Amino acid sequence: MTSPDPLSRRERLAALFVLGVAVVLVLSSPTWFGSDRAGVGIAQVVVGVVLAGVGAFLLRRSRAR
């Protein structure tokens, strides 16, 4: 078995990092809703969903190589 392409490995790690940030943002958003700052909570969920999409795209791209 050969070692993976260094660029693919970097892309995979970047994708996993972005997905991790997305998960943290989405899971911590209820804190804002609980403190009567729904606008911040909604914005955090939206950014989390966008980052999850970017992370999924990067992960799929890294596996296509």
Residues 18 and 54 sit within 8 Å (Cβ to Cβ): yes
pLDDT of residue 7: 80
Report, as an integer, the average pLDDT of 8-22. 94
- C-alpha 41: how far from its chain's center? 17
This prediction's pTM: 0.84
Residue 50's closest CA among 39, 61, 58? Answer: 58
Residues 13 and 61 sit within 8 Å (Cβ to Cβ): no
Give residue for tokens 């989390």: 48
pLDDT of residue 8: 83
Residue 26's closest CA among 11, 38, 42, 39? Answer: 42
- pLDDT of 1 above 50: no
Length of the chain: 65
- pLDDT of 65 above 90: no
The 10s digit of each residue's pLDDT in 21-51 is: 999 999 999 998 889 899 999 999 999 999 9
